[in-house]
Chains A and B, each alone.
Chain A
Amino acid sequence: MSWRGWVPLLVFLLLLVFLAVGLTLKPSEVPSPLIGKAAPAFNLPQLHQPQQTISQSDLAGQVWLLNVWASWCVSCRYEHPLLVELARQNIVPIYGLNYKDRRDDAIEWLRNFGNPYVASLHDLDGRVGMDYGVYGVPETYVIDAEGVIRYKQIGPVTQEVLQGTILPLVRELQG
């Protein structure tokens, strides 16, 4: 058979490759433009102590995780035990961004499911969330000691993502 005979097969295989790639892409996970950029500034009241505020500069000098959560978020319950377990291991401090939530509901939720956060920031109107490009909760950011966002997880953190991506990155950043 001449090479011409193989053309339809090659075209078909090429199409197959494109379709396979297309099927494995996740269109709901939009790449964040913030990766590699400085974490946006914030100054928010703490969830448990509203009179005390935390700004991003208070957290400089350490690798930390920012986990966006809310009591109304169902997927947050799914990832929460993992975060509680991670906090117990004392590997990396986790700060919460309580996104568009009522304070009472949020505190009650943490009482029920455990509180893995060093502190939670209360972002009632979601303005800080918007600066971080939050569009679905939960989301988790890895931020390095220089205050640069190194990774963003959209949707719940799974054991796979935690062990395969987040923790190796954290260890690498911690040096």
Chain B
Amino acid sequence: MTKETRGAARRWAWLAAAMLFIVVALPATAQVPPAPTPQATEMFQDPATLQRIKRLESELRCLVCQAQSIAESDSDFASDIRREINRMIAEGRSDDQIKAFLVERYGDFILYRPPLQTTTMLLWGGPAILLVIGMLTLFVVLRRRRTETVERPISEDERRRAAALLASQADSKGSSGE
């Protein structure tokens, strides 16, 4: 490794450290004290129920660590939500009822898969609309290109100019010692 590349590597390392600091430090405004929560595996033995809890938790967003699901997060918020989910499952509530309970409190944002409603039309329809716009653009461009490329024979004047250009290029190649 040369001196320059090592210097560059060090700069990158600093940048990475700074970014990591920002990512770690920003959510620090929302803190919650540690509290032990019974694990789902301690409460339920049935593998189907555990599977169901896992699926439910992975579809819910952790609000204090938004890039993680409730299943992935170790935050206290996530463990509170897990505790509530376990409680409601023990009470025999359905997945929809559990989701409704959480949406009532934290809003649709807690769902990783937002419901289809007027405010989320663009979200759900956006990709399809963009695809249609893209296809139309492609269609128009291709059509235009077909009509634009007309075969036109070159004139005698143009032929002479082209020959002259080719000749001059051959000259310069020859003089550069090839």
Instruction: Determine whether the beta carbon of A136 is less than 8 Å from that of B29.
Output: yes
Instruction: Determine whether the beta carbon of B105 is less than 8 Å from that of A100.
Output: no
Instruction: Determine whether the beta carbon of A30 is less than 8 Å from that of B109.
Output: yes
Question: Could you tell me the distance in whole angstroms from the C-beta of B98 to the nearest C-beta in chain A?
Answer: 13
Does A27 sit at the interface, judged by CB under 8 A?
Answer: yes
Contacts A28-B66, A33-B103, A33-B104 known; A137 to B109 CB distance under 8 Å?
Answer: no
Does A85 sit at the interface, judged by CB under 8 A?
Answer: no
Instruction: Determine whether the beta carbon of B30 is less than 8 Å from that of A130.
Output: no
Considering residues A27, A34, A126, which has the most beta carbons from chain B within 10 angstroms of its beta carbon?
Answer: A126
Size of the A side of the interface (Cβ < 8 Å), in residues, is: 24
User: Which of A74, A130, A136 has a CB less than 8 Å from the CB of B80?
Assistant: A130
- CB neighbours (8 Å) of B35 from chain A are 100
Contacts A33-B107, A131-B105, A133-B105 known; A27 to B66 CB distance under 8 Å?
Answer: yes
Instruction: Determine whether the beta carbon of B32 is less than 8 Å from that of A133.
Output: no
Does A62 sit at the interface, judged by CB under 8 A?
Answer: no
Binary contact readout B56-78 vs A (1 if CB under 8 angstroms, 0 otherwise): 00000001101000000000010
Does B38 sit at the interface, judged by CB under 8 A?
Answer: no
Question: Could you tell me the distance in whole angstroms from the C-beta of A128 to the nearest C-beta in chain B?
Answer: 11
- CB neighbours (8 Å) of B32 from chain A are 100, 136-137
| CB interface residues, A 67-97, toward B, < 8 Å | 70, 72-75
Instruction: Determine whether the beta carbon of A155 is less than 8 Å from that of B29.
Output: yes
Residues of B contacting A: mostly: helix
- CB neighbours (8 Å) of A141 from chain B are none
Does A52 sit at the interface, judged by CB under 8 A?
Answer: no
Using CB atoms, name the residue of chain B closest to A72: B33
User: Which of B30, B84, B104 has a CB less than 8 Å from the CB of A28?
Assistant: B30
Does A135 sit at the interface, judged by CB under 8 A?
Answer: yes
Binary contact readout A33-77 vs B (1 if CB under 8 angstroms, 0 otherwise): 110000000000000000000000000000000000010111100
- CB neighbours (8 Å) of A28 from chain B are 26-27, 29-30, 66
- CB neighbours (8 Å) of B80 from chain A are 126, 130
Q: Which residues of A contact B (CB under 8 A)?
A: 27-28, 30-34, 70, 72-75, 100-101, 126, 130-133, 135-137, 155-156
3 smallest CB-CB distances across A and B, nearest first, come from A136-B30, A133-B105, A33-B107
Given contacts A135-B106, A137-B32, 13 further A-B contacts (CB under 8 A): A27-B66, A28-B30, A30-B106, A30-B107, A33-B106, A70-B33, A75-B29, A130-B80, A130-B105, A135-B30, A135-B64, A136-B29, A136-B31
Q: Which residues of B contact A (CB under 8 A)?
A: 26-33, 35, 63-64, 66, 77, 80, 84, 103-109
User: Can you list 22 A-B pairs with a CB-CB distance of less than 8 A?
Assistant: A28-B26, A28-B27, A28-B30, A30-B106, A30-B107, A31-B107, A32-B107, A33-B106, A33-B107, A34-B105, A72-B31, A100-B33, A126-B80, A130-B84, A130-B105, A132-B105, A135-B63, A135-B106, A136-B30, A136-B32, A136-B63, A136-B77
